[in-house]
Amino acid sequence: MNFYGIRAIYIFEMSRTWRTLMESIASPILTTSLYFIVFGAAIGSRMGEIDGISYASFIIPGLLMLSLLGESISNASFGIYFPKFSGTIYEVLSAPVSPFEVVIGYVGAAATKSLIIGLLILATARLFVDYEIMHPLWMVSFLLLTAVTFSLFGFIIGLWADDFQKLQIIPMMVITPLTFLGGAFYSISMLPPFWQKVTLFNPVVYLISGLRWSFYGVSDVKVGISMVMILVFMLLCMLSVWWIFKTGYRLKD
Amino acid sequence: MESIISIRNLSKTYASGFRALKDINLDIQQGEIFALLGPNGAGKTTLISIICGIVTPGEGSVTVNGHDILTEFRASRSMIGLVPQELATATFESVEATMSFSRGLFGKPPNPAHIEKVLRDLSLWDRRKDRIINLSGGMKRRVLIAKALAHQPQVLFLDEPTAGVDVEQRRDMWAMVRGLRDTGVTVILTTHYIEEAEEMADRIGIINDGEISVIEEKSVLMNKLGKKQLQLTLQKSLTAVPAELADYSLELQQEGNVLIYTFDTQKEHTGISELLRQLGKLGIDFKDLHSSQSSLEDIFVSLVSDKA
Protein backbone atom coordinates (compact mmCIF):
# COMPACT_ATOMS: atom_id res chain seq x y z
CA MET A 1 0.00 0.00 0.00
CA ASN A 2 1.21 3.47 -0.85
CA PHE A 3 0.09 5.09 2.38
CA TYR A 4 1.80 8.40 1.66
CA GLY A 5 0.09 8.52 -1.71
CA ILE A 6 -3.39 8.06 -0.24
CA ARG A 7 -2.60 10.66 2.40
CA ALA A 8 -1.38 13.14 -0.22
CA ILE A 9 -4.61 12.86 -2.23
CA TYR A 10 -6.77 13.03 0.89
CA ILE A 11 -4.98 16.10 2.25
CA PHE A 12 -5.08 17.80 -1.15
CA GLU A 13 -8.83 17.23 -1.45
CA MET A 14 -9.57 18.31 2.10
CA SER A 15 -7.51 21.47 1.68
CA ARG A 16 -9.79 22.31 -1.23
CA THR A 17 -12.69 22.02 1.22
CA TRP A 18 -11.16 24.39 3.77
CA ARG A 19 -10.14 26.82 1.05
CA THR A 20 -13.69 27.05 -0.24
CA LEU A 21 -15.34 26.90 3.16
CA MET A 22 -18.19 29.22 2.28
CA GLU A 23 -19.29 27.34 -0.83
CA SER A 24 -18.57 23.90 0.52
CA ILE A 25 -20.12 24.08 3.96
CA ALA A 26 -22.10 27.25 4.49
CA SER A 27 -24.29 27.02 1.41
CA PRO A 28 -25.71 23.50 1.93
CA ILE A 29 -26.50 24.44 5.52
CA LEU A 30 -28.24 27.61 4.42
CA THR A 31 -30.27 25.73 1.81
CA THR A 32 -31.36 23.09 4.29
CA SER A 33 -32.27 25.74 6.86
CA LEU A 34 -34.57 27.28 4.26
CA TYR A 35 -36.29 23.91 3.83
CA PHE A 36 -36.80 23.69 7.58
CA ILE A 37 -38.23 27.20 7.74
CA VAL A 38 -40.57 26.76 4.79
CA PHE A 39 -41.63 23.11 5.05
CA GLY A 40 -41.01 22.52 8.72
CA ALA A 41 -42.13 25.68 10.47
CA ALA A 42 -44.39 27.50 7.99
CA ILE A 43 -46.19 24.70 6.13
CA GLY A 44 -45.50 21.91 8.60
CA SER A 45 -47.51 23.58 11.37
CA ARG A 46 -50.63 23.14 9.22
CA MET A 47 -49.89 19.50 8.37
CA GLY A 48 -51.02 16.56 10.40
CA GLU A 49 -48.67 14.01 11.91
CA ILE A 50 -47.37 11.17 9.77
CA ASP A 51 -47.03 7.81 11.54
CA GLY A 52 -47.30 9.67 14.81
CA ILE A 53 -44.42 12.04 14.00
CA SER A 54 -44.81 15.79 13.57
CA TYR A 55 -44.27 16.86 9.98
CA ALA A 56 -41.23 19.00 10.83
CA SER A 57 -39.52 16.03 12.46
CA PHE A 58 -40.68 13.68 9.73
CA ILE A 59 -38.79 15.53 6.99
CA ILE A 60 -35.43 15.67 8.83
CA PRO A 61 -34.09 12.28 7.63
CA GLY A 62 -35.22 13.07 4.07
CA LEU A 63 -33.55 16.47 4.06
CA LEU A 64 -30.42 14.99 5.54
CA MET A 65 -30.36 12.35 2.81
CA LEU A 66 -31.05 15.00 0.16
CA SER A 67 -27.96 16.99 1.04
CA LEU A 68 -25.84 13.94 1.75
CA LEU A 69 -26.54 12.53 -1.73
CA GLY A 70 -26.06 15.86 -3.46
CA GLU A 71 -22.90 16.75 -1.58
CA SER A 72 -21.31 13.33 -1.97
CA ILE A 73 -21.91 13.31 -5.71
CA SER A 74 -20.81 16.88 -6.35
CA ASN A 75 -17.70 16.70 -4.14
CA ALA A 76 -16.45 13.48 -5.60
CA SER A 77 -17.32 14.24 -9.20
CA PHE A 78 -15.71 17.67 -9.10
CA GLY A 79 -12.70 16.31 -7.21
CA ILE A 80 -11.74 13.96 -10.03
CA TYR A 81 -13.18 15.95 -12.93
CA PHE A 82 -11.16 19.09 -12.24
CA PRO A 83 -7.70 17.47 -12.52
CA LYS A 84 -8.86 15.89 -15.77
CA PHE A 85 -10.01 19.28 -16.99
CA SER A 86 -6.88 21.18 -15.92
CA GLY A 87 -4.50 18.40 -16.95
CA THR A 88 -2.99 17.84 -13.49
CA ILE A 89 -4.36 14.27 -13.56
CA TYR A 90 -1.10 13.30 -15.32
CA GLU A 91 0.63 13.26 -11.97
CA VAL A 92 -1.81 10.87 -10.33
CA LEU A 93 -1.72 8.58 -13.37
CA SER A 94 2.07 8.52 -13.45
CA ALA A 95 2.46 7.95 -9.72
CA PRO A 96 3.01 4.55 -8.10
CA VAL A 97 -0.51 4.48 -6.68
CA SER A 98 -2.99 1.74 -7.50
CA PRO A 99 -6.52 2.59 -8.65
CA PHE A 100 -7.75 1.34 -5.28
CA GLU A 101 -5.55 3.85 -3.47
CA VAL A 102 -6.63 6.68 -5.75
CA VAL A 103 -10.27 5.84 -5.01
CA ILE A 104 -9.65 5.73 -1.25
CA GLY A 105 -8.03 9.16 -1.40
CA TYR A 106 -10.66 10.92 -3.52
CA VAL A 107 -13.76 9.09 -2.32
CA GLY A 108 -12.58 9.16 1.29
CA ALA A 109 -12.16 12.94 1.19
CA ALA A 110 -15.50 13.49 -0.57
CA ALA A 111 -17.31 11.24 1.90
CA THR A 112 -15.62 12.94 4.85
CA LYS A 113 -16.73 16.32 3.62
CA SER A 114 -20.32 15.29 3.02
CA LEU A 115 -20.48 13.61 6.43
CA ILE A 116 -19.26 16.82 8.07
CA ILE A 117 -21.98 18.70 6.23
CA GLY A 118 -24.55 16.06 7.18
CA LEU A 119 -23.71 16.35 10.86
CA LEU A 120 -23.79 20.14 10.69
CA ILE A 121 -27.24 19.97 9.09
CA LEU A 122 -28.38 17.65 11.85
CA ALA A 123 -27.14 20.18 14.39
CA THR A 124 -28.83 23.02 12.49
CA ALA A 125 -32.12 21.08 12.45
CA ARG A 126 -32.01 21.05 16.21
CA LEU A 127 -32.47 24.84 16.16
CA PHE A 128 -35.82 24.40 14.42
CA VAL A 129 -37.19 21.06 15.58
CA ASP A 130 -36.85 18.75 18.54
CA TYR A 131 -36.04 15.27 17.33
CA GLU A 132 -34.66 12.10 18.83
CA ILE A 133 -32.55 9.33 17.36
CA MET A 134 -33.74 5.89 18.41
CA HIS A 135 -30.96 3.87 16.79
CA PRO A 136 -27.85 6.04 16.64
CA LEU A 137 -25.56 3.26 15.44
CA TRP A 138 -27.86 2.46 12.54
CA MET A 139 -28.07 6.14 11.76
CA VAL A 140 -24.30 6.48 11.63
CA SER A 141 -24.03 3.35 9.46
CA PHE A 142 -26.64 4.66 7.03
CA LEU A 143 -24.95 8.05 6.80
CA LEU A 144 -21.53 6.50 6.36
CA LEU A 145 -22.60 3.96 3.74
CA THR A 146 -24.61 6.54 1.82
CA ALA A 147 -21.74 9.04 1.86
CA VAL A 148 -19.26 6.45 0.63
CA THR A 149 -21.59 4.92 -1.96
CA PHE A 150 -22.64 8.20 -3.49
CA SER A 151 -19.12 9.57 -3.40
CA LEU A 152 -18.17 6.50 -5.44
CA PHE A 153 -21.08 7.26 -7.75
CA GLY A 154 -19.93 10.88 -8.04
CA PHE A 155 -16.41 9.69 -8.75
CA ILE A 156 -17.77 7.66 -11.68
CA ILE A 157 -19.66 10.70 -12.99
CA GLY A 158 -16.50 12.79 -12.69
CA LEU A 159 -14.54 10.21 -14.68
CA TRP A 160 -17.26 9.93 -17.29
CA ALA A 161 -17.93 13.65 -17.74
CA ASP A 162 -15.92 15.39 -20.41
CA ASP A 163 -17.47 18.81 -19.98
CA PHE A 164 -18.97 20.80 -17.13
CA GLN A 165 -22.51 20.23 -18.35
CA LYS A 166 -22.25 16.48 -18.06
CA LEU A 167 -20.96 16.99 -14.55
CA GLN A 168 -24.22 18.70 -13.62
CA ILE A 169 -26.70 16.68 -15.60
CA ILE A 170 -26.88 13.46 -13.55
CA PRO A 171 -27.32 15.21 -10.18
CA MET A 172 -29.90 17.58 -11.65
CA MET A 173 -31.85 15.28 -13.94
CA VAL A 174 -31.65 12.03 -12.01
CA ILE A 175 -30.72 12.43 -8.36
CA THR A 176 -32.87 15.46 -7.48
CA PRO A 177 -36.10 13.99 -8.93
CA LEU A 178 -35.41 10.60 -7.36
CA THR A 179 -34.86 12.22 -3.98
CA PHE A 180 -37.98 14.36 -4.15
CA LEU A 181 -39.99 11.33 -5.27
CA GLY A 182 -38.23 9.10 -2.78
CA GLY A 183 -40.30 10.10 0.19
CA ALA A 184 -38.22 12.95 1.55
CA PHE A 185 -41.37 15.00 2.17
CA TYR A 186 -44.04 12.29 2.43
CA SER A 187 -44.57 8.68 3.40
CA ILE A 188 -45.02 6.46 0.37
CA SER A 189 -48.09 4.98 2.02
CA MET A 190 -49.73 8.32 1.18
CA LEU A 191 -49.48 7.51 -2.54
CA PRO A 192 -52.15 5.68 -4.60
CA PRO A 193 -51.47 1.89 -4.62
CA PHE A 194 -50.12 1.89 -8.21
CA TRP A 195 -47.55 4.60 -7.47
CA GLN A 196 -46.57 2.86 -4.28
CA LYS A 197 -45.43 -0.08 -6.43
CA VAL A 198 -43.64 2.16 -8.98
CA THR A 199 -41.85 4.04 -6.27
CA LEU A 200 -40.20 0.85 -5.04
CA PHE A 201 -38.00 1.01 -8.14
CA ASN A 202 -36.55 4.24 -6.84
CA PRO A 203 -33.38 3.38 -4.91
CA VAL A 204 -33.55 6.57 -2.88
CA VAL A 205 -36.76 5.32 -1.22
CA TYR A 206 -34.72 2.67 0.57
CA LEU A 207 -32.11 5.17 1.76
CA ILE A 208 -34.62 7.63 3.18
CA SER A 209 -36.80 4.92 4.66
CA GLY A 210 -33.84 3.28 6.36
CA LEU A 211 -32.54 6.54 7.76
CA ARG A 212 -36.02 7.51 9.01
CA TRP A 213 -36.28 4.17 10.75
CA SER A 214 -33.02 4.86 12.59
CA PHE A 215 -34.55 8.13 13.84
CA TYR A 216 -38.10 7.19 14.71
CA GLY A 217 -38.44 3.45 14.34
CA VAL A 218 -40.96 3.78 11.49
CA SER A 219 -40.24 3.03 7.86
CA ASP A 220 -41.84 2.48 4.46
CA VAL A 221 -39.81 -0.63 3.77
CA LYS A 222 -38.10 -3.01 6.18
CA VAL A 223 -34.79 -1.64 7.46
CA GLY A 224 -32.97 -4.84 6.50
CA ILE A 225 -34.04 -4.37 2.87
CA SER A 226 -32.80 -0.78 2.99
CA MET A 227 -29.41 -1.94 4.20
CA VAL A 228 -29.19 -4.65 1.52
CA MET A 229 -30.14 -2.16 -1.20
CA ILE A 230 -27.47 0.33 -0.24
CA LEU A 231 -24.85 -2.42 -0.10
CA VAL A 232 -25.91 -3.63 -3.54
CA PHE A 233 -25.61 -0.15 -4.97
CA MET A 234 -22.21 0.27 -3.37
CA LEU A 235 -21.07 -2.98 -4.95
CA LEU A 236 -22.31 -1.83 -8.37
CA CYS A 237 -20.36 1.42 -8.02
CA MET A 238 -17.23 -0.45 -6.99
CA LEU A 239 -17.51 -2.75 -9.98
CA SER A 240 -17.91 0.22 -12.33
CA VAL A 241 -14.87 1.97 -10.88
CA TRP A 242 -12.88 -1.25 -11.15
CA TRP A 243 -13.92 -1.60 -14.81
CA ILE A 244 -13.01 2.03 -15.56
CA PHE A 245 -9.50 1.64 -14.19
CA LYS A 246 -9.02 -1.74 -15.79
CA THR A 247 -9.90 -0.48 -19.25
CA GLY A 248 -8.49 3.03 -18.79
CA TYR A 249 -11.84 4.38 -20.03
CA ARG A 250 -11.73 8.22 -20.36
CA LEU A 251 -8.50 8.24 -18.36
CA LYS A 252 -5.68 6.73 -20.33
CA ASP A 253 -6.63 7.07 -23.96
CA MET B 1 26.73 1.25 -19.64
CA GLU B 2 23.54 -0.47 -18.57
CA SER B 3 20.21 0.37 -20.08
CA ILE B 4 17.76 1.79 -17.59
CA ILE B 5 14.78 1.82 -19.92
CA SER B 6 14.13 -0.94 -22.38
CA ILE B 7 11.40 -0.69 -24.98
CA ARG B 8 10.61 -3.74 -27.08
CA ASN B 9 8.30 -3.85 -30.12
CA LEU B 10 6.05 -1.18 -28.67
CA SER B 11 3.02 -0.18 -30.72
CA LYS B 12 0.06 1.98 -29.88
CA THR B 13 -3.17 2.50 -31.76
CA TYR B 14 -5.63 4.97 -30.28
CA ALA B 15 -9.35 4.24 -30.13
CA SER B 16 -9.76 6.63 -33.06
CA GLY B 17 -7.71 4.20 -35.15
CA PHE B 18 -4.69 6.49 -35.23
CA ARG B 19 -1.44 4.50 -35.08
CA ALA B 20 0.72 6.70 -32.88
CA LEU B 21 3.61 4.27 -32.43
CA LYS B 22 4.79 1.50 -34.73
CA ASP B 23 7.03 -1.22 -33.38
CA ILE B 24 9.38 0.94 -31.33
CA ASN B 25 12.61 -0.56 -29.98
CA LEU B 26 14.75 1.66 -27.82
CA ASP B 27 17.24 1.39 -24.97
CA ILE B 28 18.04 4.34 -22.77
CA GLN B 29 21.34 4.06 -20.96
CA GLN B 30 21.87 4.77 -17.32
CA GLY B 31 23.11 8.32 -16.75
CA GLU B 32 22.80 9.67 -20.27
CA ILE B 33 20.93 12.59 -21.69
CA PHE B 34 18.81 11.25 -24.50
CA ALA B 35 17.01 13.59 -26.85
CA LEU B 36 14.00 12.42 -28.74
CA LEU B 37 13.57 14.59 -31.77
CA GLY B 38 10.62 14.74 -34.05
CA PRO B 39 8.04 17.01 -35.59
CA ASN B 40 4.69 17.66 -33.93
CA GLY B 41 2.48 14.59 -33.89
CA ALA B 42 5.40 12.21 -34.43
CA GLY B 43 4.62 10.18 -31.29
CA LYS B 44 7.07 11.70 -28.79
CA THR B 45 4.49 12.45 -26.13
CA THR B 46 2.67 9.15 -26.65
CA LEU B 47 5.93 7.27 -26.12
CA ILE B 48 6.71 9.16 -22.91
CA SER B 49 3.13 8.84 -21.68
CA ILE B 50 3.22 5.08 -22.07
CA ILE B 51 6.49 4.74 -20.16
CA CYS B 52 5.12 6.90 -17.36
CA GLY B 53 1.77 5.10 -17.14
CA ILE B 54 -0.48 7.86 -18.47
CA VAL B 55 -1.46 6.03 -21.63
CA THR B 56 -2.06 2.29 -21.79
CA PRO B 57 0.40 0.56 -24.12
CA GLY B 58 -0.72 -1.45 -27.12
CA GLU B 59 1.53 -4.36 -28.06
CA GLY B 60 5.06 -4.77 -26.81
CA SER B 61 6.77 -4.22 -23.49
CA VAL B 62 8.61 -1.56 -21.54
CA THR B 63 10.82 -2.06 -18.51
CA VAL B 64 12.37 0.53 -16.22
CA ASN B 65 15.45 -0.78 -14.46
CA GLY B 66 14.17 -4.28 -15.18
CA HIS B 67 10.67 -3.60 -13.80
CA ASP B 68 7.79 -4.09 -16.21
CA ILE B 69 5.68 -0.93 -16.38
CA LEU B 70 2.43 -2.86 -16.08
CA THR B 71 3.07 -5.75 -13.70
CA GLU B 72 5.56 -3.89 -11.52
CA PHE B 73 4.20 -0.38 -11.93
CA ARG B 74 5.07 0.65 -8.38
CA ALA B 75 8.74 -0.11 -8.79
CA SER B 76 8.96 1.36 -12.29
CA ARG B 77 6.98 4.53 -11.62
CA SER B 78 8.75 5.40 -8.36
CA MET B 79 11.95 5.78 -10.35
CA ILE B 80 10.48 8.24 -12.81
CA GLY B 81 9.80 11.96 -12.66
CA LEU B 82 7.81 13.57 -15.44
CA VAL B 83 7.67 17.19 -16.53
CA PRO B 84 4.74 17.43 -18.93
CA GLN B 85 4.52 19.65 -21.93
CA GLU B 86 1.37 21.45 -20.82
CA LEU B 87 1.57 23.89 -17.93
CA ALA B 88 -0.88 21.86 -15.87
CA THR B 89 -0.65 22.99 -12.27
CA ALA B 90 -2.91 22.96 -9.24
CA THR B 91 -3.71 26.63 -9.67
CA PHE B 92 -4.88 27.46 -6.17
CA GLU B 93 -2.27 25.55 -4.20
CA SER B 94 0.94 27.02 -2.86
CA VAL B 95 4.26 25.97 -4.39
CA GLU B 96 5.21 24.27 -1.14
CA ALA B 97 1.94 22.35 -0.84
CA THR B 98 2.04 21.09 -4.38
CA MET B 99 5.60 19.84 -3.83
CA SER B 100 4.58 17.90 -0.73
CA PHE B 101 1.65 16.49 -2.66
CA SER B 102 3.94 15.21 -5.40
CA ARG B 103 6.38 13.67 -2.97
CA GLY B 104 3.63 11.94 -1.04
CA LEU B 105 1.94 10.70 -4.18
CA PHE B 106 5.14 8.91 -5.12
CA GLY B 107 5.17 7.14 -1.78
CA LYS B 108 7.96 9.05 -0.08
CA PRO B 109 7.81 10.29 3.53
CA PRO B 110 8.04 14.08 3.97
CA ASN B 111 11.55 15.50 3.63
CA PRO B 112 11.59 19.30 4.05
CA ALA B 113 15.37 19.49 3.49
CA HIS B 114 15.09 17.92 0.03
CA ILE B 115 12.12 20.10 -0.90
CA GLU B 116 14.09 23.17 0.15
CA LYS B 117 17.10 22.14 -1.91
CA VAL B 118 15.03 21.60 -5.06
CA LEU B 119 13.19 24.88 -4.61
CA ARG B 120 16.44 26.76 -4.05
CA ASP B 121 18.07 25.14 -7.09
CA LEU B 122 15.16 26.28 -9.21
CA SER B 123 15.06 29.77 -7.65
CA LEU B 124 11.59 29.16 -6.28
CA TRP B 125 12.39 29.19 -2.57
CA ASP B 126 11.31 32.83 -2.10
CA ARG B 127 7.99 32.07 -3.76
CA ARG B 128 7.24 28.88 -1.87
CA LYS B 129 4.24 30.34 -0.03
CA ASP B 130 2.76 31.86 -3.19
CA ARG B 131 -0.19 30.35 -4.91
CA ILE B 132 0.72 28.95 -8.30
CA ILE B 133 -1.86 31.12 -10.03
CA ASN B 134 0.26 34.18 -9.15
CA LEU B 135 3.42 32.89 -10.81
CA SER B 136 4.69 33.70 -14.28
CA GLY B 137 4.75 31.11 -17.05
CA GLY B 138 8.47 30.47 -16.66
CA MET B 139 8.03 29.96 -12.93
CA LYS B 140 5.14 27.56 -13.47
CA ARG B 141 7.38 25.53 -15.74
CA ARG B 142 9.98 25.43 -12.95
CA VAL B 143 7.29 24.40 -10.45
CA LEU B 144 6.54 21.44 -12.71
CA ILE B 145 10.21 20.51 -12.71
CA ALA B 146 10.35 20.89 -8.93
CA LYS B 147 7.34 18.60 -8.58
CA ALA B 148 8.95 16.01 -10.82
CA LEU B 149 12.10 16.10 -8.67
CA ALA B 150 10.24 16.04 -5.35
CA HIS B 151 10.57 12.29 -4.95
CA GLN B 152 14.21 12.07 -6.07
CA PRO B 153 13.65 10.15 -9.32
CA GLN B 154 16.38 8.21 -11.11
CA VAL B 155 14.95 9.00 -14.51
CA LEU B 156 13.63 12.40 -15.51
CA PHE B 157 11.41 12.94 -18.53
CA LEU B 158 11.23 16.45 -19.88
CA ASP B 159 8.56 16.83 -22.53
CA GLU B 160 9.38 19.96 -24.53
CA PRO B 161 10.97 21.60 -21.49
CA THR B 162 11.87 24.88 -23.11
CA ALA B 163 8.77 25.53 -25.17
CA GLY B 164 7.90 29.16 -24.54
CA VAL B 165 10.89 29.76 -22.27
CA ASP B 166 13.18 32.70 -23.03
CA VAL B 167 16.80 32.27 -24.02
CA GLU B 168 18.32 33.06 -20.66
CA GLN B 169 16.05 30.69 -18.77
CA ARG B 170 16.70 28.07 -21.39
CA ARG B 171 20.42 28.24 -20.62
CA ASP B 172 19.66 27.93 -16.90
CA MET B 173 17.53 24.91 -17.54
CA TRP B 174 20.22 23.24 -19.60
CA ALA B 175 22.71 23.86 -16.81
CA MET B 176 20.28 22.33 -14.33
CA VAL B 177 19.77 19.26 -16.52
CA ARG B 178 23.51 18.76 -16.81
CA GLY B 179 23.79 19.12 -13.04
CA LEU B 180 21.22 16.36 -12.63
CA ARG B 181 23.08 14.13 -15.04
CA ASP B 182 26.21 14.66 -12.97
CA THR B 183 24.38 13.24 -9.95
CA GLY B 184 23.55 10.11 -11.95
CA VAL B 185 20.03 10.96 -13.09
CA THR B 186 19.12 9.75 -16.57
CA VAL B 187 17.41 12.47 -18.58
CA ILE B 188 15.15 11.94 -21.55
CA LEU B 189 13.96 15.06 -23.29
CA THR B 190 11.77 15.59 -26.26
CA THR B 191 12.14 18.65 -28.31
CA HIS B 192 11.65 20.04 -31.71
CA TYR B 193 14.34 22.63 -31.15
CA ILE B 194 17.32 21.04 -32.82
CA GLU B 195 19.74 23.37 -31.09
CA GLU B 196 18.56 22.01 -27.79
CA ALA B 197 19.37 18.44 -28.74
CA GLU B 198 22.64 19.57 -30.30
CA GLU B 199 23.59 21.44 -27.14
CA MET B 200 22.50 18.90 -24.55
CA ALA B 201 22.21 15.36 -25.72
CA ASP B 202 24.64 12.49 -25.52
CA ARG B 203 22.50 10.47 -27.87
CA ILE B 204 19.73 11.37 -30.21
CA GLY B 205 16.74 9.43 -31.42
CA ILE B 206 14.69 10.69 -34.29
CA ILE B 207 11.04 9.77 -34.35
CA ASN B 208 8.73 10.47 -37.22
CA ASP B 209 5.27 9.21 -37.95
CA GLY B 210 5.40 6.79 -35.02
CA GLU B 211 8.68 5.17 -36.04
CA ILE B 212 12.17 5.66 -34.72
CA SER B 213 14.34 6.10 -37.77
CA VAL B 214 17.69 6.89 -36.18
CA ILE B 215 19.28 6.25 -32.78
CA GLU B 216 22.83 7.45 -32.62
CA GLU B 217 25.48 9.19 -30.56
CA LYS B 218 25.14 12.85 -31.31
CA SER B 219 28.69 13.22 -32.65
CA VAL B 220 28.40 10.08 -34.78
CA LEU B 221 25.09 11.21 -36.15
CA MET B 222 26.50 14.54 -37.11
CA ASN B 223 29.54 12.96 -38.72
CA LYS B 224 27.66 10.26 -40.48
CA LEU B 225 24.94 12.37 -41.91
CA GLY B 226 26.71 15.69 -41.89
CA LYS B 227 27.47 16.91 -45.37
CA LYS B 228 30.02 19.56 -46.09
CA GLN B 229 29.62 22.19 -48.67
CA LEU B 230 32.21 24.24 -50.42
CA GLN B 231 30.95 27.56 -51.56
CA LEU B 232 32.81 29.41 -54.31
CA THR B 233 31.94 32.98 -55.15
CA LEU B 234 32.83 33.44 -58.80
CA GLN B 235 34.51 36.37 -60.55
CA LYS B 236 32.19 36.03 -63.51
CA SER B 237 28.80 34.49 -63.38
CA LEU B 238 28.07 31.23 -65.21
CA THR B 239 24.86 30.34 -66.98
CA ALA B 240 25.31 26.60 -66.47
CA VAL B 241 27.67 24.14 -64.85
CA PRO B 242 30.32 23.38 -67.52
CA ALA B 243 30.02 19.89 -69.05
CA GLU B 244 33.61 19.08 -68.01
CA LEU B 245 32.51 19.25 -64.36
CA ALA B 246 29.49 16.97 -64.72
CA ASP B 247 31.10 14.34 -62.44
CA TYR B 248 31.02 16.63 -59.43
CA SER B 249 27.82 17.37 -57.54
CA LEU B 250 27.71 21.02 -58.30
CA GLU B 251 24.99 23.56 -58.13
CA LEU B 252 24.79 27.14 -59.25
CA GLN B 253 23.12 29.67 -57.01
CA GLN B 254 22.50 33.39 -56.85
CA GLU B 255 22.11 33.91 -60.58
CA GLY B 256 25.20 31.91 -61.42
CA ASN B 257 27.50 33.87 -59.12
CA VAL B 258 27.96 31.15 -56.54
CA LEU B 259 29.03 27.59 -57.22
CA ILE B 260 28.28 25.05 -54.50
CA TYR B 261 30.08 21.75 -54.21
CA THR B 262 28.62 19.18 -51.81
CA PHE B 263 30.96 16.45 -50.59
CA ASP B 264 31.04 13.65 -48.10
CA THR B 265 33.38 14.13 -45.15
CA GLN B 266 33.66 10.38 -44.58
CA LYS B 267 35.32 9.69 -47.93
CA GLU B 268 39.08 9.50 -48.21
CA HIS B 269 39.16 11.88 -51.13
CA THR B 270 36.83 14.76 -50.89
CA GLY B 271 37.66 15.78 -54.43
CA ILE B 272 38.29 19.39 -53.51
CA SER B 273 41.77 19.68 -54.99
CA GLU B 274 40.75 18.00 -58.24
CA LEU B 275 37.80 20.32 -58.55
CA LEU B 276 39.92 23.39 -57.95
CA ARG B 277 42.51 22.22 -60.54
CA GLN B 278 39.71 21.64 -63.07
CA LEU B 279 38.33 25.10 -62.42
CA GLY B 280 41.81 26.53 -63.02
CA LYS B 281 42.08 24.70 -66.34
CA LEU B 282 38.70 25.99 -67.42
CA GLY B 283 39.70 29.51 -66.46
CA ILE B 284 36.96 29.92 -63.90
CA ASP B 285 38.25 32.31 -61.23
CA PHE B 286 36.73 32.88 -57.84
CA LYS B 287 36.86 35.72 -55.32
CA ASP B 288 36.05 33.79 -52.20
CA LEU B 289 35.57 30.31 -50.89
CA HIS B 290 34.34 28.82 -47.66
CA SER B 291 33.18 25.44 -46.46
CA SER B 292 30.41 24.65 -43.98
CA GLN B 293 29.04 21.60 -42.23
CA SER B 294 25.33 20.92 -42.10
CA SER B 295 23.75 21.33 -38.69
CA LEU B 296 21.59 18.81 -36.94
CA GLU B 297 18.67 20.80 -38.20
CA ASP B 298 19.59 20.13 -41.84
CA ILE B 299 20.10 16.47 -41.04
CA PHE B 300 16.77 16.31 -39.33
CA VAL B 301 14.91 18.03 -42.12
CA SER B 302 16.47 15.75 -44.73
CA LEU B 303 15.63 12.63 -42.71
CA VAL B 304 12.09 13.65 -42.07
CA SER B 305 11.44 14.68 -45.66
CA ASP B 306 13.00 11.46 -47.00
CA LYS B 307 10.41 9.48 -45.10
CA ALA B 308 7.47 11.55 -46.19
The domain total for chain A is: 1
- CA terminus-to-terminus distance, chain B: 34
Which H or E element spans position B133? Answer: none
Q: Which CATH class is domain B3-223?
A: alpha beta
Domain that holds residue A65: 3-247
Question: Is A253 within a domain?
Answer: no
Query: Radius of gyration (Cα) for chain B, nearest Å?
Result: 24
A7 at B interface, C-beta within 8 A: yes
* Residue A216 covered by a domain: yes
Task: Give the residue extent of every domain in chain B.
Answer: 3-223, 226-307
Q: Where are the alpha helices (DSSP H) in chain B?
A: 44-52, 73-78, 95-105, 112-121, 137-149, 167-182, 194-200, 218-225, 272-281, 296-307
CA distance B256 to chain A (A): 55
Residue B193: which of B215, B171, B210, B175 has the closest Cα?
Answer: B171
> Tens of pLDDT along B9-67?
999 999 889 999 999 999 999 999 999 988 888 899 999 999 999 998 999 999 999 99
* Residues forming a β-bridge with B67: B64
Contacting residues of A for B109, CB less than 8 Å apart: 4
Q: Are strands B186-191 and B155-159 parallel, antiparallel or unpaired?
A: parallel
pLDDT single digits (tens) A163-218: 889 888 888 888 888 888 888 888 888 889 998 888 989 989 999 999 999 999 98
On the question of pLDDT at B236 being above 90, the answer is no
CATH architecture for residues B226-307:
2-Layer Sandwich (3.30)
Which residues numbered 55-94 in A keep a CB inside 8 Å of some CB on B? 86-88, 90-94
Judge whether A181 lies within some domain. yes
Which residue, among B21, B89, B91, B105, would best test binding to A if mutated, counting the most A CBs under 10 Å from its CB?
B105
Question: Which alpha helices (DSSP H) does A42-163 contain, by range?
Answer: 55-86, 89-94, 99-128, 136-160
Cβ–Cβ below 8 Å for B104 and A8:
yes
Task: Give the model confidence (pLDDT) of A34-48 as tens digits.
Answer: 888 888 778 877 888
Q: DSSP H helical segments within A181-222, as ranges?
A: 193-199, 203-216
Q: Quick check: A2 contacting B, CB < 8 Å?
A: yes
User: Per residue in B129-176, pLDDT tens?
Assistant: 999 999 988 889 899 999 999 999 999 999 988 777 778 888 888 888
Q: Is A97 a residue whose pLDDT tops 80?
A: yes
- Do the domain assignments include residue A252? no
Query: What is residue B225's predicted lDDT score, i.e. its pLDDT?
Result: 64
- At residue B217, what is the residue type? E
pLDDT at residue number B294: 67
A250 touches chain B (CB under 8 A): no
